[in-house]
Structure formats: structure tokens, C-alpha cells
Structure 1
């Protein structure tokens, strides 16, 4: 329907006029790589999750500042390293594990609530006379170290037998008004990274670990309807500062090996 009388046509609000011109998201097709160069730790590097959006911001009439970019939260984390019949070490997010919160910020820990502030965000300072077009992008992957030996012992004797990881994230493309904190969710992506590495500690270094699954990750999912951002995804602590390394022996009480930074 066109406009017969201009008076009947309400101008679209600025908020309705921010346009996502295109959105690409993927997880690299390469499998997780395993590095056995160290006699102390096994390292692995997962494929990258990537998200890129081209955004159009209409002219900003007022003296307003809008930042558009990526915010990410972890919704679920299982990260278990099994040491034969001795027990397992586990990276845990206690509040998430105990369902006290539904998500935790995965910010870089500096630029809350943003995932980062290099390619991840763009700021438009009003007043502007014409459209602003720009691209914001982010990527994420895991590159941890897991000790060959039981983490609570002084011995480096290899006893690691298995690594399992299953983590889920929600990633939002968001516009935030810096003065009023008004937050507009433009796109919502969900993605997951799973991993199972089998380890034979009897074998020589360099031949111990085998990637079992999955060789290719499931592709990220762009939601048809945006999800709101849970409060904990916007504030401290972030996942890196909140995580705890536990040792959970087959017999006996769990031990905190590395306490949270936060």
C-alpha cells in the first residue's frame, strides 16, 4: 500500500530503521586439531565460529551515540577430562551449573557487554546527515591445555584417558544507545561446539590422542524470532573469570584446583 496522504504515514522510528543488510555465520569445516608437543599438557584447537553482519544505520537526528556489535553468552558448559579410574577434572561455571542463571557473559572481560571492540563493534555518533553502512564481525574458538597427569598430584605421569566438551552459546547482534542504554536486538544466533578426544596414556607422546567426534560441527542456527538478552549476559563476571577447575575423584570429595578469578 502506498501513501495517499502523507499525513497518514507515520515516519518509521529510527529504531525500526536500523537494517541488517546481510548476515553470514558458520563454523569452519576443519576438524579440531590436537597438539602433543608438550610432555606436560595436551593442547587442542577447535574450528572457529564466525559471524559477520553488514548493517545500515539511518541518519541520527539527535546528539545520540549508538554502538552496534556482537554480544555473546554461554548457556551450557560441560568440559570433562577423565583420568582412568582416578577421577576427572572439570571446568565449571557454578552459577550456570546450579541453574542460578540461564546464561553468563562471554565478553572479552574489558569491553562489557561486547564480545570485543576491534572488528566486533561500530559506533555512530549523531547527528549524522546520511546513512552509515559498516560491517561488524567476530570469531570464537577454544584452545585449552589439559594436563597429562592428574591435576592435583605433583606427578606428570600420563593418566589422561578422555576429553569431552559440549558448550552452547547465544550470540546477538545488538544496537545500544550509549546515553539511555536502550538495547535493540537485531539478530540472534545459537551455536554449539562438541568434542570427544580419546587418549591412550600408555602410548608414546605424539601418538596418544585420537579425535573421536564430531569431525564436523553442526552449523550455527540463525533464529527466526529474536531472543531477549538475559541480564547476566550483559554484566560481570564473564565466563573466563567465573570458571572453576574442579577435581572430582572416583572416591572422596571434590577439590577446587583453580578458583574463579572473579
Structure 2
């Protein structure tokens, strides 16, 4: 196995582990416990000027009768956490909007949504370095965790709403230095060149959501009582970095330094509106002595603990391109940048 093929298996992030729960006390009109449903995958992302956005377009309901796709929310601020300025997310109504009868009544009002016990933190532990393999170094960062309770008003029949977390990467520097030879770097070209402000950090299936387990809850009407639910998510890095130069067939350790600095925005979304905005950052700085025996080469330098996330007292809009494909893992490219000579693409974007 060459160093290049080994690097192929390492993308920006490691495995995601689900966390949190859905409150089991949510009940529908029939008295049955409301169950979490997996939201529809894929779907069209509406853009400014889309004729279907904010309109009622004729559709066929499951029962074959006429139905309309409706924007059920009134304009104006909500009563969540003043001052509150709802930022409308331009998503296909089948994903986050409602499908209801042609009468378009009753309607859910956004100001009736209550968000409580919002938390965001990064575990207070240092990044763990693993030197178990003669081929790659691995490191595991502490987890970023976010959780919130949401009380949703009763949902009318033929309406389906999704509440959950959306995340996007807004900045990334990820360099692996190999002495005086050069460095490899994972890059997001559109982000690095300023063509976009953020790139989706979805799991690659549940767009625009970060995931579809504890990260989202789907409410399907009719429900006669308010629904109390909890949505949570977590994220961390667990990549592999080759000891040897990634474009070389040699297994000689040459890695001397790893630098990573990555920023994210995480949004809590309900009824097509941002209800909470969290900004967080993860930094890694590892010095490596390649001539030392395996198991004693790498050490953390710089700050041992991460800066804690910031829950903003205002809501930031979600850039439209951060709601769909590609996600960060698919958009990234691995470059080799030698000290002398032209850069080389080692792994292209998917």
C-alpha cells in the first residue's frame, strides 16, 4: 500500500456518534406517543426567485385530493429570545414546510415555538494522539456537543415539520509538514478562494440536516397538544496522517508537524427559521520528531484545551449553498505542495 492510497482513506472528519434523545412524552391527537421519523432524503433546494418559495402551488395529497404547499408563518418577530430576527431558510416545502388541505387552516405561528435549555460545549480534555501504526499517525479531538429543548405547538392535519440542527464549515486550515520537502494540505477550494461563505457539514445523506438520528425530530399532524422534544448533536475529528510523504512509495517517516484550524456555524432550525446560532472552532497543533521510536514521536504543542463555543444572542442567516451538496467531506481536496516545484492534486474532490 502506497502512502497516497493510505491517505485516500482519511477525509476531513472521523466517525460521528449520535448523542442525546427524543423526549418520549410527546403525544399526538390519538394519545399515541409521537415517534421520531426519518425526514425525506435529498430534495430540491429553492433559490431566490423560485416560483414555489412562499407560494401555494397546487399539489396532490396522498389521499388524491387537492392540496397546497403553504408558508404558514406570519411576518414579524417571534417571542423566543428578543431581539429575534427570524432568518427564512429557502428549502423545498416537502422537506421543512407543510402540506395541508386547500383550506390552509389552521395555521402554526412561529411565535408559539418555545426553545429552552440550549447548551453548546467542547469537552474539557486534550486531543489524544495515537501512534499505534507504522503507517499513519492518528489523533482524536474532544467532542463538540449541542443540545436544545423545543416545544412545538399542535400540528394541523396533513402538515409535517422537521426540527433539528444544521451545520456548515466556514474556515479550514489543515497542513501536514514534512520537513524541508513540502507539505500536504486538505483544502476546500471554493471556501479558500472566497467563492462561498460556508460549505454544508451534513452527513451526506440527510441534507440540509447534520444527521437524522438525534439531530432531528419530525412531527406529523394532526397533534392536538404541544409536543416537547429534544434535539442534540456532536462532532469531532479523528483523521489519519501518513508518517511518510503521501506521494512517495517510501515508508520512511518524514512528518514533522500537523496544524489544523477549523471553524463552524451550527443552527437550530424550526419551521423554516433559525431559532439559535452557535459558532465554534477546533484547533490542533502537533509537533513530530520522525527519527524517534514509534510511540514517542508526537506531542501536543500550544493550548491543551479548546475555546468554548459561543451561543449568539442574534441569529445568523444560513447561506443557500450550505443547505445542499456537496458537503465538506465530498468537496475537499488533498494537495501536495512541495518546497520547490508545482503543487500536485493527490486526492481530488468526490
How many corresponding residue pairs?
244
Secondary structure of 1:253's aligned partner: coil
Q: C-alpha distance in 1, partners of 2:302/2:282?
A: 11
**4+ aligned runs moved over 4 Å, structure 1:** none
Match of 2:154 in 1: 59
Q: Deviations over 1:181-220 (max 9, x none)?
A: xx21010000000110000001010000000132110000
Q: CA deviation at 1:62?
A: 4.6
Match of 2:300 in 1: 211
Q: Decide which of 180, 185, 188 is 2:274's aligned counterpart.
A: 185
Superposed CA RMSD in Å reads: 1.0
The aligned counterpart of 1:179 is none
Distance 1:213 1:254 in 2: 29
Instruction: Summarize deviations over 1:211-256 as a string: whole Å, max 9, x none.
Output: 0132110000001000000011100000000100000000001101
The aligned residue for residue 112 of structure 2 is: 17
Q: Tell me which of 176, 189, 196 is aligned to 1:94.
A: 189
1:38: which partner in 2? 133
Report Cα offsets for 1:31-84 as digits up to 9, x if no partner.
000000000000000000000111100112352111000000000000000000
Partner Cα separation in structure 2 for residue 17 and residue 155 of structure 1: 63
**Larger fraction in strand:** 1
TM-score between both structures, scaled by the size of structure 2: 0.69
Contact in 2 for aligned 1:57/1:131 (Cα 8 Å): yes
Map 1:73-222 onto structure 2 (within 5 A). 73-176=168-271, 183-222=272-311
Distance in 1 between residues matched to 2:197 and 2:116, nearest whole Å: 30
| Whole-Å separation in 2 of the counterparts to 1:226 and 1:43 | 36
Q: How far 1:22 sits from its partner (Å)?
A: 1.4
Q: TM-score, with normalisation over the residues of structure 1?
A: 0.91
- Work out the CA distance in 2 between the residues paired with 1:16 and 1:236: 31
Q: What is the DSSP-based 3-state SS (H/G/I as helix, E as strand, rest coil) of the residue aligned with 1:201?
A: coil
Hey, what's the Cα distance between the residues in 2 that align with 1:166 and 1:214? 13
